[in-house]
Amino acid sequence: MIMYVIKNGTIHTGTGEVLENYDILIEGKKIKKIEKNICEADAEIIDATGKQVFPGFIDPHSSIGAMGIPTRYKDNAETTNVINPDLSVKYAIDPDEVNAQEFYKSGITSVGFSPDHSNVIGGQITVCKTAPDHMANRIVKEHAAMKGSVCSTVKDVYGASNQMPKTRMGIFHLLKEAIRKDDLLKKYQMPFVIAAETAGEIQCLMELLKDEDIQLTIVDGFEFGDAIEELKEKKVGIIFGNFSNLSQISKHEIDLSRLKELVENGNRIAFTNTCKGASEGREVFIWSAIEVYRAGIDAEDVVKMMTIQPAEMLGVADQIGSIEVGKDADITIYSDHPVKSYAAHVQFCMINGKVVLS
């Protein structure tokens, strides 16, 4: 069994703890030890002196791999039925498209592949590793979360064919029927990830679900500030879409400094390279994290948003999302702290104990 020791790095565990000049022993696919001065005669040494060591980053909501770049056939958008709870995005993923994106070059080692924003209930999210491999070997969890949407994309898709829902009241009626009449939450006992962008969409979603016992995460969520008290009360998570897409911060007058309220309240936050259901380059993930840091959020809280918190959203924190003994050996070494410096770049990346970039 191949062993590695990452030596003398500044380890950002993903849980908020920073360990100076520590070593990590990797044996096979797993992290075996985290200590100072680890000595293993048979291990290959990775010198991380003066460098920053992180858990592999996690993008919890991506369409990359199912969009058919460059022809955009969108295999994650089944628009023949607005309610599709049994569909699994696993069958939409094109491994060649995932490989071409080279997520790991930005430190992203796992992705939650997701249905897009077209349906009120679009199907189920699958969590996969980003290293080139057979799809069966990449999957961390197939039925990780249920994806829904109350965004205008739904009425744009179905209204164009004179089909319900053509309006927002139609969207929320169908969601209410699915949850309460079809008992969707009880039947599918998994987290729900629902796209909502504007204040109206977020507020209506919170009102509809106020009495439900549900682990809810909102995707995009640009106008979160207008429902912040409701979000705090229900501990709702947010996966922020691409802030730089069409200047979303200016368009929605986003005050990112208000995220401090959610951080202090224990709400989970994450980032994605997706905006309005369509994905862009892997760099978007890092850019969003930098924007939040520049808004005054502590750097290690931002690291949590890139690692352990998206893992918790998708129910895979027992396997990935932090540098802890027993977890998957998904580790990235940066030249500097990537949310503090644009000059920081990935110098090494390991996924499942295998070196994919060095």
Residue 111: closest CA among 300, 278, 322, 316: 316
pLDDT (tens place) for every residue of the chain, 358 residues total: 789 999 999 999 999 999 999 999 999 999 999 999 998 889 999 999 999 999 999 999 988 877 666 656 788 899 999 999 999 999 988 888 888 889 999 999 999 999 999 999 999 999 999 998 888 888 999 999 999 999 999 999 998 888 999 999 999 999 999 988 778 888 888 999 999 999 999 999 999 998 888 899 999 998 999 999 999 999 999 998 877 665 777 666 778 899 999 999 999 999 998 877 666 777 888 988 999 999 999 999 999 999 999 999 999 999 999 999 999 999 999 999 999 988 899 999 999 999 999 9
Q: Based on the domain organization, do 284 and 327 belong to the same domain?
A: no
Supply the range of the domain harboring residue 277.
57-313
Q: Based on the domain organization, do 62 and 10 belong to the same domain?
A: no
Q: Based on the domain organization, do 98 and 34 belong to the same domain?
A: no
User: How far is residue 123's CA from residue 314's CA, in Å, rounded to a whole number?
Assistant: 14
Q: Based on the domain organization, do 126 and 259 belong to the same domain?
A: yes
Q: Based on the domain organization, do 74 and 9 belong to the same domain?
A: no
Structure confidence at residue 252 (pLDDT): 67
Q: Based on the domain organization, do 273 and 285 belong to the same domain?
A: yes
Residue with tokens 């027992």: 318
User: How far is residue 190's CA from residue 295's CA, in Å, rounded to a whole number?
Assistant: 32
Structure confidence at residue 71 (pLDDT): 59
Q: Based on the domain organization, do 91 and 46 belong to the same domain?
A: no
pLDDT digits (tens, 9 = 90+) for 57-109: 999 998 887 766 665 678 889 999 999 999 999 998 888 888 888 999 999 99
Q: Based on the domain organization, do 36 and 64 belong to the same domain?
A: no
User: How far is residue 118's CA from residue 189's CA, in Å, rounded to a whole number?
Assistant: 22
CATH code of residue 348: 2.30.40.10
Q: Based on the domain organization, do 16 and 146 belong to the same domain?
A: no
Structure confidence at residue 93 (pLDDT): 87
Torsion over CA: 104, 106, 112, 114 (sign): negative
Burial readout 305-335 (b: 16 or more C-beta within 10 A, e: otherwise): bbbbbbbbbbbbbebbbbbbeebbbbbbbbe
**Number of other residues whose CB lies within 10 A of the CB of residue 291:** 19
Structure confidence at residue 325 (pLDDT): 98
In the numeric block, which tokens belong to residue 175?
Answer: 């969601």
Number of domains in the chain: 2
* Sequence-ordered strand ranges (E) for 139-296: 139-149, 192-196, 216-220, 237-240, 269-271, 274-275, 278-279
pLDDT digits (tens, 9 = 90+) for 302-352: 999 999 999 999 999 999 999 999 999 999 999 999 999 888 999 999 999
Q: Based on the domain organization, do 236 and 144 belong to the same domain?
A: yes
Q: pTM, whole model, 2 decimals?
A: 0.95
CATH code of residue 297: 3.20.20.140
User: How far is residue 119's CA from residue 72's CA, in Å, rounded to a whole number?
Assistant: 18
Residue 226, classified by CB atoms within 10 Å of its CB into exposed (0-12), middle (13-18) or buried (19+), is middle
Q: Based on the domain organization, do 96 and 36 belong to the same domain?
A: no
For helices 152-159 and 168-176, angle between their N-to-C axes, nearest 10 degrees? 100
